[in-house]
Amino acid sequence: MTNINAKATGPSGAPVTFSATATDIVDGTDPVTCDHNSGDTYPLGSTTVSCSSTDHAGNTSHASFTITVAETTAPSITLPGTITQEATGPSGAPVTFSATATDIVDGTDPVTCTPASGSTFALGSTTVNCSSTDAHGNTASGSFHITVQDTTAPVLALPTPITATATSTAGAPVTFSATATDIVDGTDPVTCTPASGSTFALGTATVTCTTSDLHSNTSTGSFTVTVNPGPVSTVKISPPTATTIVGSTPIQFTATSQDQFGNIRTGDTLTWSVVSGGGSISSTGLYTPGTTADTATITATDGSVSGTATITLNPGQVTSVTVSPSTVTLTSTQTQQFTATSQDQFGNIRTGDTLTWSVVSGGGSISSTGLYTPGTTAGTTVIAATDNSISGSAIVTANNPNTIVQNQGGANLKGDNLQFLNLSNFNLSGDNLKGVTLQGSDLQGANLSGANLAGANLQNVNLAGANLSGANLQGVNLSGANLQGANLKGANLQGTNLQNDNLLGADLQGNNLQGANLSGANLQNANLSGANLQGANLQNANISGANLTGANVHKANLQGTITSGITPSTLSGCLNNSVCQ
């Protein structure tokens, strides 16, 4: 029989089939019996199979053969596919993997790989070779690739938002530091736009920075640089000047705060106010004109710094015209210069208007400048001044002075209105002029001796050189009158108003001036000998050089009175007191 060699199919060996036959010259064929059966699993190694056959005559034959089971199959190795790993540093990256081997006999066998799992693999592709040998020396080998790559971008380190203060109108130069770190390169250069050290304009700018590593991985980042104006240096108001009409619509002003370089500050809170003139202004700069024509000054204040603007408030449209004087009495030989004032609804005086003068009723004529010339007939005349369609008027009473001239003394003119008449050198001696109005009239050199002028209005009358000796001037209003060189000897001036009168060198010898008002009067070198000045008001009067011999100054008010050249004994008890004892 022929020996059989079989390949193991497992740890138990291998199933082996065989055929054994016997031939006989008589029987032809005889059955064969073996001590191992065909199809049994035969262990690894050699097994001897013994067989025998007996014919019908009892003749027996014996034979044997060897079945050898051997392991000749290498292990089966299982390896990873290509592994791609991200670098963790300049040297690459540690990579772990699993490689196994199975064997039909051993079950599993160890695998050896080079480089081993857990090794640090350099950047790029590395071939890993692996092999496994079973217990019977059968070896299998294989390989795979590990690729270490750098796809991680560098990490930028950028400043936090930067705030700077302007150093010029262009803004401010700003320096900063920007860096980049990379797991492979370590550090990489950074490019920023605008670059560090650039001059940044006012406002907020974005700085964009970029870095790339050696494997072209790029990172981009940004931060902001804000340049603010410096502290407020000036405040400018717009418009700086304005012209409007009283009581008209409001004007909107705006204010701009600037630093020392003229850079505009935003977000500041400004305080508005009217510092002079009329009107009002809101917290937002809305100015409302007042009703008085003048120049207003407004301010806008930022901290301690202010800006100003001026507003010229002109009068409104004319609503009234006032003529001055409103009433006047003239003789046919006198003229009167009138003036007219145009005013708006708030009483503001308009200037520069052209007024038209006219005689509305009565006689006489008036020039384009307001000079009125009476006619030849006595009576009442109404004159008017017109500004556009608005008019004002005055009344002129024309008197004929000949009615006075014809009465050469002793006439009864009680209560007459004789104001602004030219009565110079007239003879009015002994006339009854009680309560008469002679305001503004010219009586220079007139003869009024013995006349009764009690209660008369002689305000601003020119009585220079007039003869008033023995006249009754009790209670007369002589304020502002010119009495220089007048003869007032023996006149009754009790309670008379002589305030601010010019009595330079006047003769007041023996006059009754009890309680008279002589405040501010000029009595320089006047003759007051024997005069009664009891209780008279001489406050601020000038009596220097006056003759006060025998005068009664009991309780007279000499406060502020000029007394130079007065004999001290004359005013004994007065000079150190405001009121004489």
Q: For residue 414, what pLDDT is reported?
A: 47
Given a cut of 50, is residue 258 above it in pLDDT?
yes
Q: How does pLDDT run across 179-223, given as a tens digit for each residue?
A: 999 999 999 999 999 999 999 999 999 999 999 999 999 999 999
User: For the chain, what is the mean pLDDT?
Assistant: 89
Given a cut of 80, is residue 241 above it in pLDDT?
yes
Q: Which amino acid is at 60?
A: T
Q: How many residues does the chain have?
A: 581
Q: For residue 95, what pLDDT is reported?
A: 97
Going along the chain from its start, the domains and CATH numbers come out as 4-70 (2.60.40), 76-149 (2.60.40.10), 155-228 (2.60.40.10), 234-312 (2.60.40.10), 320-399 (2.60.40.10)
Given a cut of 90, is residue 332 above it in pLDDT?
no
Q: How does pLDDT run across 437-464, given as a tens digit for each residue?
A: 776 777 888 888 888 888 888 788 888 8
Q: How does pLDDT run across 498-532, given as a tens digit for each residue?
A: 778 777 788 888 878 888 888 888 888 888 888 88
Cα 18 → chain centroid: 116
Q: How does pLDDT run across 6-54, given as a tens digit for each residue?
A: 999 889 999 999 999 999 999 999 999 999 999 999 999 999 999 999 9
Cβ-proximal residues to 209 (8 Å cutoff; 6+ apart), any chain? 156, 158, 178, 190, 191, 192, 193, 220, 221, 222, 223
* Strand 179-182 versus strand 155-157 pairing type: antiparallel
Cβ count within 10 A of residue 207: 23
Q: Which amino acid is at 18?
A: F
Q: For residue 555, what pLDDT is reported?
A: 84
Place of tokens 């008010």: 557
130 and 195 in contact (C-beta within 8 Å)?
A: no
Residues of the chain above pLDDT 90, percent: 64
Q: Is 312 exposed, middle or buried (0-12, 13-18, 19+ CB in 10 A)?
A: middle
